């Protein structure tokens, strides 16, 4: 699968997010966990990659099977309340 720069940027962003699982990345982009790791290794500076790997390794929230909370959605539970720019309209 050929990824464009926008897709690569989004995958990196999702990989850095604590609550976005590797399964969500696979669902959206078709990349397995090892492919995401390889992409991060190739796209990030070595120090940034090491920092990311140390954050991700063993983190329950990055794997659906290890999560203890609802995984039926890929978005934050508070996202609905800030959709359509409602927060800025207070």
**Is this prediction's pTM over 0.75?**
no
pLDDT, tens digit (0-9, with 9 covering 90-100), for 23-71: 999 999 999 999 999 999 999 999 999 999 998 887 777 766 655 555 4
Query: DSSP for 16-58?
Result: HSTT--HHHHHHHH---HHHHHHHHHHHS-HHHHHHHHHHHTT
Task: Name the residue ranges covered by the structural domains of the chain.
Answer: 5-89
Q: Structure tokens of 68?
A: 């203890």
pLDDT exceeds cutoff 90 at 72: no
How far is it, in rounded angstroms, from Cα 41 to Cα 4?
A: 17
């Amino acid at each position: 699968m050929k990824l464009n720069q926008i897709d690569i940027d989004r995958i990196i962003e999702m990989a850095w997010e604590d609550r976005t699982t590797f399964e969500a990345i696979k669902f959206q982009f078709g990349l397995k966990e090892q492919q995401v790791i390889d992409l991060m290794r190739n796209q990030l500076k070595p120090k940034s990659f090491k920092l990311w790997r140390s954050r991700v390794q063993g983190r329950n929230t990055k794997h659906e099977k290890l999560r203890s909370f609802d995984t039926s959605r890929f978005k934050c539970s508070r996202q609905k309340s800030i959709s359509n720019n409602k927060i800025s309209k207070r």
